[in-house]
Structure 1
Amino acid sequence: MNPSGAGRHAAHRWNQAKPVIMTVDDDAMVSAAISRDLRSRYGADYRIVRATSGDQALAALAKLALRNQPVALIASDQRMPGMTGIQMLEQSRSQAPTAKFLLLTAYADTEVAIRAINDIGLDYYLLKPWEPPAERLYPIIDDLLDDWREANPDHSADVRVVGHRWSDRSHEVKNFLARNHVPYQWYDIERSAAGQQLGDLAEASVTDLPLVLIPDGDTLRAPSNLDLADALGLRTTARQPLYDLCIVGGGPAGLAAAVYAASEGLSTVIVEREAPGGQAGQSAAIENYLGFPRGLTGADLTHRAVAQVGRFGAEMVLARSVIGIETRGPVHAVLSDGAGDLEARAVLVATGVSYRQLAATGISELNGRGVYYGATASEASQCQGDDVYVVGAANSAGQAVLNLARFAKRVVLVVRGPDLERGMSRYLIERITAAENVEVRCRSEVVGCRGDGHLESVTLLDNGSGRTEEIATSWLFIFIGASPHTGWLGSEVVRDDKGFVVTGPELLGSHDQQHWPLSRPPYALETSVPGLFAAGDVRLDSMKRVASAVGEGAMAVYLVHQYLATI
């Protein structure tokens, strides 16, 4: 945490008044104290509003709503006469729909506060007293305000993207921006007058689309990811030729390894071909990650991890694909497309996996045109009022279904197996079953896709009866299987028949010992090439969970230290 908070919590410069932080407490002395503490820390960028009862708070919120003043945070005492803090917060949602909720409570009320996380969407509860505020109050509010600003940005400085709704390249550009946490506004050139006007002003032809308009920058015409990264000021080349550790892949395993390595003094660089976060970064909700009782989005987890990586001094090189690796004496050379070689004393492969391609007639020409592998949380809003089909039976599919169901008229989950229990966590199954606009079709498969320029229908096969049915839809999201990104590794790196990397003792067990060249045994996450490690989903028999990937990333750094001590 930045102890002073200087510059960290500057609110977006709204055209109207500052965003509001409201405090609610019937004890005049406590109310004055918390308002004083909040004003000293956040008063430069937020308006602090006090209320001494639930009714007074609701009346003040109604006035703020009429003035269109945004409310960022409501901090309320729980035990108040007439109306409890939880009751007040629940009623305030209609007046301040985006506000973060903080409950100030006594130890005896913690069970009630925990229930409120599910019942009213409580963001956090804090035991009283909160002294000293620099240690017990400010860090909590810092995080809540960070989250609020992330969800309620000022769009005046956003990147603008102009293109066709069903353009695969437009989808790729939007996906790249979203996953790299670059705010953007989308304009459909066919359905939006503003989009048509922007296209006319730029004198854009069909081949120029999508246009990407960057504030105070050049207009990009059908840019590649590398063009985008360079124009946005993202780092696309490494600063130095030699590192202690090069991490290939910026998912949870790679990010965790970078945090631990850099914090322990290793010169560290991550090379990521798309955006940090991996598949986890696209998740609409990760609800079973330790320390986050309300859960968090994959984008939020990634954003926090990237901030940690930068804080400890590790570098991140984006929009570069690694195409090979060579051993050059005591170092390894990581070869990338057009960026030259990058040498490191140790390398960690954390490239994760991608979703397998669905074998359905006519699907390949519709990729990015209504057919999508995975989905970012931001894509759900584009399905407003439509029927959406999702293929898959693991947690990633379940999380996507629940996010899409917030906007779509109906979401149909297509499952090849007899039920969801084999691959999906119980908490997701219960929420999917309870959702009124979600239908689960087990023992079913998508066997065909049809459309002129974009997806217009899918063909479903009922494996029980053998009957097929063609159904109109413009949206198909696919979450099946896992294919590791290991094609760039040479023949010296032992993999199984599916491409997963074999590590540690398994190199000496099920595989011939000739694959291991040294007299010492390989370290637990070491591959058949000494000094080349693997962690996360790319590794054979890994758990395929975010928490386990983070653990393996941290563990890999411990093993890297051991390896570096021997060379």
Structure 2
Amino acid sequence: MRAYPGRMPDRPDDRPVILLVAAAHADAVEREFRARYDRDYRIEPVTTARAALDVARDLVAARTPIAMVAAERRLPDGGAVELLHQVPAVVSTARRVALVAGDEYADALDEMRAALLRRDFDTFVGIPRGARDEEFHTALTELLSEWGWSVARPTVTATDVVAHPGDRGAAAVRDLLDRLGIPNRTLDPGADEARAVLESAGPGAALPVVRAFNGRVLAGATPSAVAEAMYGGFDSIPDGEIADVVIVGAGPAGLAAAVYAASEGLSTVVLERDAIGGQAGSSSMIRNYLGFPRGISGMRLAQRSRVQAGRFGARFYTGRPATAIEPGPAHEPEHHHVHVDGAQMCARTVVLATGVTYRRLDVPGLDDLVGAGVHYGAATSMAREMADRDVYVVGGGNSAGQAAVHLAKFAGSVTMLVRRESLAETMSDYLVREIAATPTITVRTGTAVADGGGDGRLQWLVLREVGTGELTKAHADGLFCLLGAEPDCGWLPGGLALDGDGFVLTGRDVPRDAWTGGRPPASLETTLRGVFAVGDVRAGSMKRVASASGEGASVLPLVHAHLAWLREQEYREGGPS
């Protein structure tokens, strides 16, 4: 075996493996990987595709995690495309990278792009020709980061959850933490490491007990209590403060609005009832978002956006839903009141970015098993627990497709249940192709869930053929429901116009009898002056992450215009007090 400067000594260890498959450029490839990754990963070099598959099988048999398989385009017994296509049959969670020599790159582009569309691998990169090829390493570290978040157990924890196995409350808390990108671990109450956490919570503390990264210890923890403890309690809202803009909802639309509002010097507050990132934050991989050619997880996108908004000065308050908007009276039009349970926020403008919620199945037997095999949303934190199990995904949109592809990396089988006759009616083409290329995913069109149950957790489903009404019973270990969208607008004031499906009307879609002076509201403005709607909650929106982000950015000129109008009104009434 070759030796390189700085290489760690050979020793048995539990580091995840990066399997390198290279022949003609073996020395350059191994040198590049060892220089950057040898501390945290075990580098295993081989020279042929056959040897790579044999080593991978041995590693799997030994329960050694494989983080990545990187293969040179040309090998003595084949090539990267053929090899990497076979890797998921051995280890479905490893990230797959094709390595292309510089002198072949131009000629290989068409082949590589076609293989990428077939999902034969995750990405392809050029083999570095010299030192400090940061583009090469950016591609690799992004994949390794995504593997570490979605597959590996955290080696460093920021938050501890003490709970008995199978605790549904603890599972909900872990799902929140994973969506926030916070490394966490679950400790059995009898474990030595749990003792200090339980002592901090006090005698007789109700489980689950959570010790957050900021040191706070919560007994009987709920997701909302954990969210509020980590990102700002509503009780800390200063009395009498009037924000330039209060954004209700921290999905892509709300986060984009926060970034642009705060960056332009507006005092900006974001209210979020759940995890920052909204539904998009639970997407395992978004591949068609502008600027991320290798894709980005919803969690990473939300995490980066939150940090970006925070650096500009936006403040986040999480864990409680907004319950009402009280419009400013005619004699005091300069601000509205946004209410949450036990607190209120005054705002000169309000941006509604509350998104949508997944529809419920309305099957009583399954409602009793939510958190015990039945989940609404992608629940990416549950994927590892579905290893080798039979899983069902209900829904035919992009969120359902992303969930199915992610679950297929772990589950023995994934069955998608779709009421329509084709996925292509409601799903992006790249996801339809990816699903078709994943052998462990089966798509059943024209099928719905009629019943289900189990002894303490999900064990079976009854499926109904939509066309014939025929019923069949199937074994099921997990059910993930992503059934389409409905808005959560029941809390909004009566003067705010909604369409027949409950989405917020804006601009020219507002009924003419609600126009002012014969003119409609501004494009994203509701029937309440100074209250805007962006993203999925808005009637007529595209229901895509990119379009929601675009609307969040586009609302800022309208906010500025309303603030200018308020200043003009104040001036006409005698100037500032």
How does the TM-score come out when normalised to structure 1? 0.77
1:289-331 deviations in whole A, cap 9, x for unaligned? 2333332322222223223223333222221311111223212
CA contact (8 A) 1:361 1:447 kept: no
Deviation at 1:82, TM superposition (A): 11
Shifted more, 554-563 versus 143-152: the winner is 143-152
CA contact (8 A) 2:80 2:98 kept: no
Structure 1 residues 142, 349: CA separation in 2 closer, same or farther (over 3 Å shift)? Answer: same
CA contact (8 A) 1:258 1:270 kept: yes
Q: Provide the C-alpha distance between the structure 1 equivalents of 2:445 and 2:16, rounded to a whole number of angstroms.
A: 51
Aligned residue runs from structure 1 range 482-521, under 5 A: 482-507=485-510, 511-513=511-513, 515-517=514-516, 520-521=519-520
Query: Hey, what does 1:212 align to over in structure 2?
Result: 210
Q: 1:401 aligns with which of 399, 404, 410?
A: 404
Query: Hey, what does 2:373 align to over in structure 1?
Result: 370
Q: Provide the C-alpha distance between the structure 2 equivalents of 1:247 and 1:292, rounded to a whole number of angstroms.
A: 26
Deviation at 1:503, TM superposition (A): 0.3
1:293 is matched by which residue type in structure 2? P
Structure 1 residues 522, 405: CA separation in 2 closer, same or farther (over 3 Å shift)? Answer: same
CA contact (8 A) 1:20 1:46 kept: no
Matched, 1:334 2:338: yes
Shifted more, 283-292 versus 340-349: the winner is 283-292
CA contact (8 A) 2:128 2:136 kept: no
Deviation at 1:345, TM superposition (A): 1.9
CA contact (8 A) 2:449 2:464 kept: yes
Aligned residues: 537
1:487-514 deviations in whole A, cap 9, x for unaligned? 221001111232200000111xxx242x
**Structure 2: unaligned runs, 5 residues or longer:** 1-12, 567-577
Query: Hey, what does 1:157 align to over in structure 2?
Result: 157
Query: Hey, what does 2:561 align to over in structure 1?
Result: 562
Q: Provide the C-alpha distance between the structure 2 equivalents of 1:20 and 1:416, rounded to a whole number of angstroms.
A: 41
Deviation at 1:121, TM superposition (A): 3.1
Deviation at 1:557, TM superposition (A): 1.6
Deviation at 1:103, TM superposition (A): 5.6
Query: Hey, what does 2:173 align to over in structure 1?
Result: 173
Structure 1 residues 293, 466: CA separation in 2 closer, same or farther (over 3 Å shift)? Answer: same
Deviation at 1:188, TM superposition (A): 6.7
1:441 is matched by which residue type in structure 2? R
1:132-152 deviations in whole A, cap 9, x for unaligned? 978x67876775675566565
CA contact (8 A) 1:457 1:471 kept: yes
SS of residue matched to 2:540: coil
Q: Provide the C-alpha distance between the structure 2 equivalents of 1:216 and 1:269, rounded to a whole number of angstroms.
A: 21
Query: Hey, what does 1:263 align to over in structure 2?
Result: 263
Q: Provide the C-alpha distance between the structure 1 equivalents of 2:78 and 2:478, rounded to a whole number of angstroms.
A: 45
CA contact (8 A) 1:166 1:453 kept: no
1:201-243 deviations in whole A, cap 9, x for unaligned? 7699998222324578465322133432355x42234666222
Structure 1 residues 435, 250: CA separation in 2 closer, same or farther (over 3 Å shift)? Answer: same
Deviation at 1:257, TM superposition (A): 1.5
SS of residue matched to 1:363: helix
Q: Provide the C-alpha distance between the structure 2 equivalents of 1:88 and 1:418, rounded to a whole number of angstroms.
A: 34
Q: Provide the C-alpha distance between the structure 2 equivalents of 1:84 and 1:462, rounded to a whole number of angstroms.
A: 44
2:276 is matched by which residue type in structure 1? P
1:269 is matched by which residue type in structure 2? V
1:485 is matched by which residue type in structure 2? D
Q: Provide the C-alpha distance between the structure 2 equivalents of 1:561 and 1:130, rounded to a whole number of angstroms.
A: 49
1:250 is matched by which residue type in structure 2? A
SS of residue matched to 2:404: helix
1:112-164 deviations in whole A, cap 9, x for unaligned? 55456466635453698789978x67876775675566565752434232435
2:526 is matched by which residue type in structure 1? T
Deviation at 1:355, TM superposition (A): 0.6
Q: Provide the C-alpha distance between the structure 2 equivalents of 1:428 and 1:293, rounded to a whole number of angstroms.
A: 15
Q: CA RMSD in A?
A: 4.7
Query: Hey, what does 1:308 align to over in structure 2?
Result: 308
Q: Provide the C-alpha distance between the structure 2 equivalents of 1:74 and 1:410, rounded to a whole number of angstroms.
A: 23
Q: Provide the C-alpha distance between the structure 1 equivalents of 2:85 and 2:302, rounded to a whole number of angstroms.
A: 30
CA contact (8 A) 1:208 1:222 kept: yes
CA contact (8 A) 2:96 2:123 kept: no
Q: Provide the C-alpha distance between the structure 2 equivalents of 1:430 and 1:546, rounded to a whole number of angstroms.
A: 20
Shifted more, 90-99 versus 160-169: the winner is 90-99
SS of residue matched to 2:424: coil
2:310 is matched by which residue type in structure 1? G
